[in-house]
Amino acid sequence: MVPDTTVRFVLDVVVHDITRFRELVASCVAVSNDEPGTLLYNWYLNEAEGTARLVEAYDSVESVIIHIKGPVFTEFGPDLLTACTITTMDAYGDLGRLADGPEFWPTVQWGAPFAAIDPR
């Protein structure tokens, strides 16, 4: 069996400014879908409750590094965090050095990710 190198995330957020949130998410989606190694980058919004969820997946931790060094974190992320608050994040897979590193802002405060179980 080939080891699973994919890394997946599920983030829940509370949305404070729906209009601005929609604009910023559209920008994040546009750039994320073109990043190498992005397998999935989907936002889901419950406008009535003011909540949203991001489900994303990457083919490797190297692709996650490309993502966190790109425009979602450097250009859109700071503004996005004025329109919403991240309340939880689950990370699945082996994040290696990212699990405890400061470059994993703003999610490092939630602790180590879940690691994949090798079924062998």
- What is the CATH classification number for the domain harbouring 57? 3.30.70.100
Is 108 inside any structural domain?
no
In a domain, 1, yes or no: no
In a domain? residue 49: yes
Q: Which domain holds residue 51?
A: 7-103
Is residue 120 included in any domain, yes or no?
Answer: no
Residue with tokens 């409750």: 49
- Specify if 2 maps to a domain: no
User: What digits encode the pLDDT tens for the residues 81-102?
Assistant: 899 998 888 888 877 766 665 5
Cβ proximity of 70 and 35 under 8 Å: yes
In a domain, 113, yes or no: no
Which backbone phi and psi does 106 adopt, to 5 degrees?
Answer: -100, 25
pLDDT tens for each residue of 103-115: 554 444 444 454 5
Beta carbons of 101 and 95 less than 8 angstroms apart: no
Q: Half-sphere exposure of 60 toward its Cβ, with a 13 Å CA cutoff?
A: 6
Q: Could you give the number of structural domains in the chain?
A: 1
Per-residue b or e along 73-89, where b marks 16 or more CB atoms closer than 10 Å to that residue's CB: beebbeebeebbebeeb
